[in-house]
Structure 1
Amino acid sequence: MSTFSMGMAALGGVVLAGVVAWNTWTSRKNTPRQAEAPAGEDPVEPGQRQEPVLDEATPLPVPEKRPALDALIDAIAPIAVEQPVSGDAALAAMPHTRRAGSKPMAIEGQNAQTGEWETPQPGRRYTAFQAGVQLANRTGHLNEIEYSEFVMKAQAFADAVGGALDLPDMLAEVARARELDQFACDHDAQLSFTLRARQAAWSPGYVQQHAVRLGFVPGVIPGRLVLPAATQGLPPMLGLSFDTQAAMADDPTQSALRDVTLSLDVPQVERSEQPFARMRDAAVALATAMEGVITDDNGAIIQPEGLDVIGADLEKLYDILDARDLSAGSPQARRLFS
């Protein structure tokens, strides 16, 4: 073999080795990062729900039970009765659905013993009732058709228990609903950050493993994790979500995620919980641990000073909600902004 031929053969070997190395590097780069299985423990599958372990000696506090109706956000119609009505009779007279169009409605009775308003219960007696329908929620304000449906259901209940229904003026209540809906639209806030991978993609298990370390637990929907509220029964403080199909894939370890979304529904969480600070800390911690960046919905990187501005704006929003008696996390705010 000539020197030229040997040189070309050697060059071909170098090129082939380079191609193999390039393919290997590209394969590793495109392979999503996997969760690390702790020694002696079985890894949690991305689609598997994992309940938080709670100390039975220190149970989570439960929210205070309050009547469902509130004149601030409901149109309320009193129902007078001549004599006490049993809870069993009241329950039998309840409408089959507790909605008027897209608006929740409720009927409460005044407990003959305590004088408190409550949802009718069997074995108790009630000296008065009231029916109410919510003025607004995230679907819009109460309209004339929904109000008419509420009237029919409230009147049917009143007739069944032998009561007299006193309805508020429809036009006045619809006008009040429009005003409340406008306020809600102007002061609703649902924040979200997008965490994007700098280089290697993430597998669902990799994301879940890092999120669990920050207190997140798998939610009911595949591809969603939540940071539970400090009080049992309240909405979660934060949400972390990614592609549902990736979480439900036959082999989730091969699903490549380039981004995940961290979210906060501001009116649903009490101000005292400092949810934005928790959101900010979680975003920074996840971005650092998973080698990602924090961006907005348009893909622009959010700098620390940008987070400061968002936090300052939120404090102003909290003040406005407090002044309207619709403090974030209150039962009224959770109903209005739902």
Structure 2
Amino acid sequence: MSSLQIGLAVAGGLVLAGVVAHSAWFSRRNAPRQARPEARPAEEPRLDPPLEAPGERQEPSFDSTLAPLPLPEKKPGLDALIDVIAPIALEGLVSGDAALAALPPTRRAGSKPFAIEGLNEATGHWELPLAGQRYTAFQAGVQLANRIGALNEIEYSEFVMKAQAFADAVNGAPEFPEMLDEVNRARELDQFAGEHDAQLGFTLRARSAAWSPGYVQQNAARLGFVAGAIPGRMVLPASTTGLPPILVLSFDTQAALADDPAQSAIRELTLSLDVPQVQRAEHPFQRLREAAQVLAEAMDGLVTDDRGQRLAQETMDGIGADLEQLYDTLDARDLSAGSPQARRLFS
């Protein structure tokens, strides 16, 4: 073999080695980022509520070593603000067992929640019927509006039929409000809700390398997010057990369900806040903003709106100011964000 052939062979080998090396580097560079060994808990950032001035009440954090276990919220009952309520007078006491047997099979009238409550003889409180208790009166209720729309005449008629059937079964006499008045009240409430509903979402997009599900979950967990009931969904829990989450983080469900999730490539995720569902005291928008910024820095991402436009700090400041006005308006209507009434109306 001549020196020329040897030189060409060597050169060819170097070129081939370079191509292989570049290909390996390119694949490694563009492979989804993977979760890393966990840092000590003390080193991990968390989305605790902002500190308040001395003398002001501080909201509880999610650090279980510092905060007591939260108590579940009591299930809210019928409320004249957002429900049609029909009292049912009784000839005598009715047992909880009889009331339970008389309840309709479904708890809805059309698209609206329907409920029966009894006045407990022993406690004097309105409650859902319970076995072993006795009741001196009942009331039937149907919700005036929700995110599907306002209570209409057909739904009101279904409510009357269900309530009348229950009353007949317990020897009661119902008194129904005028249908047209209640339907008009439902439309007015629905209009108010439509004008003051707010669901915010920030999109976090990968600048370069994509993310694996494990990488997303690890970084979100450091901020206090926990796995949700749906694959590809994580939530930041509320301070009180049983309340809706403060924030929701979601990414491609198919990536989370892949046979080998480590090889699934996620290029964007969404952080969302359902404003009327979360108490103002939780500082939800500030925590949404902080979560987006912390995750963007940790994961080499870019915070945008749903159209891909980068969200500047000034834009976020404006959103925050608008939300404060919205909170004030809901407070004035006795529909404060996160209250039982607001959570039912905006659902």
The 10-residue stretch of structure 1 (235-244 or 20-29) with the greater mean CA deviation from structure 2: 20-29
Aligned to 1:63: 73
CA distance in 1, matches of 2:7, 2:323: 70
Who is 1:270 aligned against?
A: 279
- Match in the other structure for 2:35: 35
Q: Does residue 136 in structure 1 map to residue 145 in structure 2?
A: yes
| Cα distance in 1 for residues equivalent to 2:233 and 2:67 | 29
What secondary structure sits across from 1:83 in the alignment? strand
Match of 1:298 among 304, 307, 318: 307
Aligned pairs (5 A) from 1:1-338: 9=9, 12-38=12-38, 58-66=68-76, 68-338=77-347
| Superposition deviation, residue 146 in structure 1 | 1.1
The CA deviation at 1:263 is 0.7
| Distance 1:39-1:316 versus aligned 2 partners, 3 A rule | closer
In 2: Cα distance, 1:273 partner to 1:102 partner: 30
Q: Aligned partners of 2:142 and 2:258: how far apart in 1? A: 43
User: Partner letter of residue 89 of structure 2?
Assistant: A
- Pick which of 120-129 and 313-322 moved more: 120-129
Offset of residue 9 of structure 1: 5.0
SS at match of 2:310: coil
Cα deviation for residue 61 of structure 1 reads 2.5
**C-alpha displacement at 1:12, in angstroms?**
3.9
Deviates more, 1:298-307 or 1:4-13: 4-13
1:223 shift after superposition: 0.6
SS in 2 for 1:209: helix
Give me the whole-angstrom Cα distance separating, in 2, the residues matched to 1:309 and 1:5: 70
Q: Distance in 2 between matches of 1:10 and 1:171?
A: 92
- Match of 1:128, SS state, is strand
The gaps in structure 2 that reach 5 residues or longer are 41-61
What CA distance in whole angstroms lies between the structure 2 residues aligned with 1:259 and 1:56? Answer: 34
How far, CA to CA, are the matches of 2:7 and 2:97 in structure 1?
98
Unaligned runs of 5+ in 1: 41-51
Which stretch has the larger CA shift, 295-304 or 9-18? 9-18
Per-residue deviation, 1:63: 1.7
Give aligned pairs, total.
326
TM-score (norm 1): 0.91
Distance 1:179 1:15 in 2: 75
Query: Counterpart amino acid of 1:268?
Result: Q
RMSD: 2.1
Q: Which amino acid aligns with 2:30?
A: N
Deviates more, 1:223-232 or 1:24-33: 24-33
**What residue identity is the alignment partner of 2:69?**
P
Report the CA distance between 1:141 and its aligned residue: 1.1
Counterpart position of 1:49: none
Counterpart residue identity of residue 60, structure 1: P
Identity of aligned residues (%): 70
Cα offsets for 1:124-146 (capped at 9, x unmatched): 22111110000111111111111
Give the TM-score normalised by the residue count of structure 2: 0.89
* 2: CA distance, partners of 1:137 / 1:155: 24
Residues 97-137 of structure 1: per-residue CA shift (max 9 Å, x gap): 11011110101111122322111112222111110000111
**SS at 1:97 equivalent:** coil
